[in-house]
């Protein structure tokens, strides 16, 4: 998946939607007066803070997905011996790796064709 595809897929899971109004367009998240508006999507593949927000969104939906997500991170960091990873190994995972693990956890990752 390209960075743009990854950002869009995660944004959709996190509730971001396209909007087009007279004089502009962008993305919104939320409802009624509590909506957050942005001209672009969060940059999940390059921003650890954005990935943190996405992770928290997933945990609020299903806390136990944390364990599947950690497994996916482990597989990315050490594909041959991921079951023996320690918590400290996860500290080095990049935002892009976190984004890939996130999408694999929810079954939305698409391999390059």
**Which pLDDT does position 113 carry in this prediction?**
62
Give the pLDDT confidence score for residue 16 in this predicted structure.
87
Close Cβ partners of 57 (under 8 Å, ≥ 6 residues apart): 13, 14, 15
* H helix or E strand, kind and range, residue 71: helix 65-77
Per-domain residue ranges of the chain: 3-105
pTM: 0.84
Q: Which residues 6+ apart lie within 8 Å of 3 measured at CB?
A: 45, 46, 96
The candidate with the shortest Cα–Cα distance to 90, out of 105, 106, 70, 104, is 70
pLDDT in the model for residue 20: 74
pLDDT of the chain along its 113 residues, tens only? 999 999 999 999 998 888 777 667 778 776 555 667 778 889 999 999 999 999 999 999 999 999 999 889 888 887 766 666 677 777 888 999 999 999 999 999 998 76
């Amino acid at each position: 998946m390209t960075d743009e595809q990854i950002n869009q897929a995660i944004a959709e899971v996190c509730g971001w939607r396209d909007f087009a109004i007279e004089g502009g367009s962008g993305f919104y998240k939320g409802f009624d007066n509590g909506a957050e508006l942005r001209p672009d999507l969060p940059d999940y593949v390059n921003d650890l803070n954005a990935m943190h927000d996405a992770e928290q969104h997933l945990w609020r939906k299903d806390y136990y997905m944390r364990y599947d997500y950690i497994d996916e991170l482990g597989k990315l960091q050490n594909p041959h011996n991921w079951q023996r990873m320690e918590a400290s190994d996860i500290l080095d995972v990049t935002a892009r790796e976190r984004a890939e693990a996130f999408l694999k956890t929810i079954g939305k990752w698409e391999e390059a064709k």
